[in-house]
Amino acid sequence: MANPYLVKAIYDQLDDAAGRPQRVQQEASMSIDPPARQGLGSAPSRNILYTPPTLQTLREASIYIANASGKRIKVSPAEELRYAVTKYFPIPGFYYDQAHLPLHFGPDYFKTSGTGAKCTCCWKARHFDRNRLPCRKLCSICRTQEHSGKECPKLFVDVCWWANHGRGKLDPKTPVNPTACERAHLVVAGILKDWKTFDEPIILNLDHPLVKAHYEGKALPQYIDPPPAKEERAQTLGNRKRKVPFDETSDDSVEEGEIVSEDVERQVESIVLNAQQMEEDSLFVPENSPRESDRVAELEEKLAQAKEELGKMEASFKAREKTMARELAQAKDELRKTKAALKGRNWLVEKMVNESQNMSSVWGERARRGREECQ
């Protein structure tokens, strides 16, 4: 079974290594405040000049990361960062690193589809707001309500993780875990310290002026250590406590191929764009999306109309039932009167028949007497 952290590292490297060949690297000093892409990133508390590494420096950098089997894989630094430098900084204080999420919460905690799907804001059971308001529930990760309708800042994960969980568009203030290639870029720039394994959380260079300015007057970031791992989890992680020995000068320990930034960038762009398209098509909409609330409101309106129609039909049926009951009573009354009239007519007929018989007998008697007198 493939090591998930190795896959994540390779995935991240592909993401980071996707540099823009058309971009001309600025070698002059520039403010780190503006984001690498328009509309992204946030400004530090004060304007600190930051000199990005040159394209030649990035291309000549040799960074090797050990996988679970101890083999080294070369990581090509990204020639251009996706976001502003400060967006790759974790929040002040404690946070959860992406590599440790399965150990902290289990493999199925962050499900966003199917049975047991959760809200991507509070990470509780998926819910809907009738008033089309964003999620305002207490977040089960940070235990606050400070990021209503947005991503929890204590989850330090990359853009692909969010995209795979239904959020193709992130809030500008949400910190992003750099991919392997972006991380290599930041290492070459002196922002981050070097790392040896793919599942190793980032370590900021606290002596860098940009890092100092960003966390000035704030708590330093610190990832939350995962709980003691079981044997199978330790094997999955590649036993993080074990130092992976390799000779940095030897080519025998280097696996064929390398994580190239351009390939990773294309894959990451594809994943993020697909997630954004799914959001627009309402096929994979975040829990607190306005479009989803609109859909719920539309269904509720249809339900109210159906209930109104049902009420009208029930009222019509009741009125018809009363009319039919009244007509039935009238018919029964007419039948009773008709029976009474028929009974009276039968009595009158019998009386007339009897009188006719009596008259016949009287006239017969008179005729007999007349004949006798004539004789």
Q: Where are the domains of the chain?
A: 4-287
Secondary structure string (H, E, C) spanning the chain: CCCHHHHHHHHHHHHHHCCCCCCCCCCCCEECCCCCCCCCCCCCCCCCEECCCCHHHHHHCCEEEECCCCCEEEECCCCCCCCCHHHHCCCCEEEEEHHHHHHHHCCCCCCCCCCCCECCCCCCECCCCCCCCCCCCCCCCCCCCCCCCCCCCCEECCHHHHHHCCCCCCCCCCCCCCCHHHHHHHHHCCCECCCCECCCCCCECCCCHHHHHHCCCCCCEEECCCCCCCHHHHHHHCCCCCCCCCCCCCCCCEEEEEECHHHHHHHHHHHHHHHHHHHHCCCCCCCCCHHHHHHHHHHHHHHHHHHHHHHHHHHHHHHHHHHHHHHHHHHHHHHHHHHHHHHHHHHHHHHHHHHHHHHHHHHHHHHHHHHHHHC
The upper half-sphere exposure of residue 374, i.e. CA atoms within 13 Å in the direction of its Cβ, equals: 6
Identify the pLDDT of residue 176: 93
Task: Quote the pTM value.
Answer: 0.57
**Amino acid identity for residue 73 in this structure:** I
| Distance separating alpha carbons of residues 351 and 263, to the nearest angstrom | 117
User: Angle at CA 197, nearest 5°, toward 192 and 200?
Assistant: 55
The structure tokens 């992204």 sit at 40
181, 130, 179, 177: which is closest to 19 by C-alpha? 181
Residue 178 · residue 89 · CB < 8 Å: no
Q: What crossing angle do the helices spanning 4-17 and 261-280 adopt, rounded to 10°?
A: 100
Residue 175 · residue 181 · CB < 8 Å: no
Two structure tokens written together for 256: 């064929």
The structure tokens 């199978």 sit at 232
Two structure tokens written together for 341: 């009239």
Instruction: List residues bridging with 222 in a β-sheet.
Output: 94
Number of neighbouring beta carbons within 10 Å of residue 104:
14
The upper half-sphere exposure of residue 289, i.e. CA atoms within 13 Å in the direction of its Cβ, equals: 21
The structure tokens 């969010």 sit at 162
Number of neighbouring beta carbons within 10 Å of residue 45:
12
Identify the pLDDT of residue 187: 93
The upper half-sphere exposure of residue 113, i.e. CA atoms within 13 Å in the direction of its Cβ, equals: 8
Identify the pLDDT of residue 45: 43
| Distance separating alpha carbons of residues 326 and 339, to the nearest angstrom | 20
pLDDT in tens, the chain (375 residues): 444 444 455 445 544 444 433 333 333 333 333 333 333 333 344 566 678 899 999 888 888 888 777 788 888 898 888 889 999 999 999 999 998 898 889 888 888 887 778 888 899 888 876 666 788 889 999 998 888 888 999 999 998 898 888 887 888 889 999 988 899 999 999 999 988 888 889 999 999 999 999 999 999 999 988 887 555 544 554 444 433 333 333 444 444 446 666 666 666 666 766 666 665 554 444 444 445 555 667 777 888 888 888 888 888 888 888 899 899 999 999 998 888 888 888 888 888 888 888 888 888 888 888 888 887
Number of neighbouring beta carbons within 10 Å of residue 84:
21
Two structure tokens written together for 278: 């799914």
Q: Is residue 31 classed exposed, middle or buried when 0-12, 13-18 and 19+ CB atoms within 10 A define those classes?
A: exposed
Residue 78 · residue 189 · CB < 8 Å: no
Residue 264 · residue 100 · CB < 8 Å: no
Using CA atoms, how far residue 328 sits from 88, 318, 320, 322, in Å, is: 83, 15, 12, 10
